[in-house]
Amino acid sequence: MLRVLGHVPRVVSVRVNDLPAIELLRLDPQMPIPARAHEGDAGVDLCSTVDVTIEPGERVLVGTGIAVALPVGTVGLVHPRSGLAAKTGLSVVNTPGTIDAGYRGEIKVCLINHDTRTAVDVQRGDRIAQLLVQRVELVTFVEVTSLDETARGEAGHGSSGGHAILHSVSAQSQEEAH
């Protein structure tokens, strides 16, 4: 029988991060430096610089007071926070937002309140979204006159089935038929 003795680390690093530390400018010195909630988390949290109330269905562009110089070959992605999304309906309109390597302006977040009834109050300093930095392939494109054949071909947009909404629509139309 195999017995595991001693401490087993819960977070195992699969690859050593060889990117340099990313230069970060605090445009609003009172904002905290974006940080991970836990070691190994994918994203660092971004805070709102403003107090704002977002009515149901409304969107608003808020500043984070942060600018970065991402290395060429990486991209910043602005993702919603799942807790806020689940509890209040707050999300990011263009999720994930794209921060280009050459961008030196303030990172802004286009928030949306998806709740249909309740407004969301965002206060200055609240953690409203998270920034992930990933490597990205800067590919080139070459124009051709035809593409290779594949099993999928041109089928897309639900061609393989398995959509809950289609089941509910077909169940509804069956009920209506009776």
Q: Give yes or no for residue 81 binding ligand DUT (CB under 6 A).
A: no
| CB atoms closer than 10 angstroms to residue 55 | 12
Q: Give yes or no for residue 90 binding ligand DUT (CB under 6 A).
A: no
Q: Residue 125 CB, nearest distance to ligand DUT (Å)? A: 19
- Would you call 176 helix, strand, or coil by DSSP? helix
Locate 144 and state its tokens: 């051709």
Place of tokens 């050593």: 16
Which positions from 101 to 120 touch ligand DUT by CB under 6 A, shown as an x/- string? --x---xxxx----------
# of chain residues touching ligand DUT (CB under 6 A): 11
Q: Give yes or no for residue 124 binding ligand DUT (CB under 6 A).
A: no
Q: Give yes or no for residue 84 binding ligand DUT (CB under 6 A).
A: no
Strand ranges (E), 3-81: 23-26, 44-47, 52-54, 59-63, 66-69, 74-80
Q: Give yes or no for residue 100 binding ligand DUT (CB under 6 A).
A: yes
| CA 56, 61, 63, 68 torsion-angle sign | positive
- From candidates 53, 82, 98, 168, binder to ligand DUT by CB under 6 A: 98
Q: Give yes or no for residue 97 binding ligand DUT (CB under 6 A).
A: yes
- Give 80-117 as a DSSP string: E-HHHHHHH-EEETTSSEEE-TT--S--EEEEEE--SS
Q: Give yes or no for residue 127 binding ligand DUT (CB under 6 A).
A: no
Judged by beta carbon, residue 139 or residue 165, the one nearer ligand DUT is 139
| Residue nearest ligand DUT by beta-carbon distance | 97
| CB atoms closer than 10 angstroms to residue 58 | 13
Query: Would you list which residues are annotated within the binding site for substrate?
Result: 81-83, 94, 98-100
* Residues lying near ligand DUT in the complex (CB under 6 A): 78, 94, 97-100, 103, 107-110
Query: Would you list which residues are annotated within the binding site?
Result: 81-83, 94, 98-100
